[in-house]
Every structure is written in structure tokens, then in C-alpha cells.
Amino acid sequence: MPHIEGFYKYRGVLIVPPLVIALFWPISESETNWIVWPIGLSIVLLGVFGRIWAQQHLHLRIKVPVQLTTTGPYALVRNPIYISNTLICIGLTVLSHHLWLVPFTALWCAVLYSFVVREEEQHIKQYGSQAAAYFRDVSRWIPRYRGKPLMVTNDFLTASIWAEAHNFLFFFPFIIKEVALSFVSSCRCLAFG
């Protein structure tokens, strides 16, 4: 399936369009900083912390052999990284003040990641009956607690924080935009005040 492989291979780039729209769309911004920033920031941080928790168990960017991961958030849902990515994108969209764009961003992420996980699941099938049991027991998208204790942290916490620290860079364009808009607004007030 070449088109699905393209989605998987370019998933990092394909997530960008709604964020670019959120960053540069010139009109229809909400002017409620007092509520937009705390909510948007909370959603982004929830996504980043979700990625850190998942990374502790997945070990993808850490120098540890990769195996079928079924612990931590992977005991609740099969795709916690993509759910966390979606939260980051939604939170950044909220930070942009374009609240009308939030449903579009959520839909974009849902469609993109639905193609991505189909390709990924083909690779996971290499684990045979263990993968089949995991697919049967754990939902692809809807987290479900099954009564087993969840490991929240492990020996890979520090390495996982470092591996996921780049996610904090997504804030900077939105902070720069906010500062620039505040500066322009202040200049207008001074000029016409």
C-alpha cells in the first residue's frame, strides 16, 4: 500500500498544515487571552507529558532494544503517542486564538493518524500471537483501564524527558506571534490614543 506508507513515512510533516494555518491566519482571532492561554497550555502540556510517559515504555528514541510495548499508557490504548500528538496540535491551535480551527485540527489528526497506524500495525504483526492478543485486548484509540496497575514512571524517565524535550520548541512560534501582536496593538494604542 504505497499511499499508506507515504502517510507513515511523512507523518511528521503531514501534521504541520493545521498548525501553519493556526499560526498565520490573519483574522477571526479570539481576544480572550485570560482563558485561551491557560487552556491551550494545559492541553499542550498534557500531550507532552503523554509523550514522555509513552516514551518511557516504547524506548523509540532511547538506546534500548525495541519490543512490543504493552505497559504504561500502552496498557490503556495502542496509540498514546498519536493521541498525545493530537493533544499538542489542538492545544497549539487554541493558543493561536483561532478556536474555530480546533475541530478541523482534531479531524486532520484523526484522519492522518488513522492511515499511519494501519501501516504501523503491519509492522507490529511480526510479534505474532502476542500482537494478535494485544490488538484484541487493547483499543486503538479509546483508552480503557482494565484494572491492572499502571507503571507511571520507570528507570527511563530522565532519558524520555530528554528524548521528548524538542516538543517544547513548538511553543516558540506561538509565543513570538503573541508578543508581536501585543507589540503591534500597543503601538496602535500609542499612535491613536
Identify whether the C-beta of residue 136 lies closer than 8 Å to the C-beta of residue 124. Answer: no
Q: Name the residue type at position 99.
A: L
d(C-alpha 73, C-alpha 138), whole Å: 11
Rounded CA Rg of the chain: 19
pLDDT in tens, the chain (193 residues): 444 567 778 888 888 999 999 888 877 666 677 788 899 999 999 999 999 999 998 877 667 777 888 999 999 999 999 999 999 999 999 998 888 999 999 999 999 999 999 988 988 898 999 999 999 999 999 999 888 778 788 888 888 889 898 888 888 888 888 787 777 666 766 666 5
Q: Do you know the residue count of the chain?
A: 193
d(C-alpha 88, C-alpha 45), whole Å: 7
d(C-alpha 105, C-alpha 155), whole Å: 34
d(C-alpha 190, C-alpha 37), whole Å: 25
pTM: 0.87
Take residue 46 and report the three cell numbers written for it: 498534557
Take residue 92 and report the three cell numbers written for it: 497549539
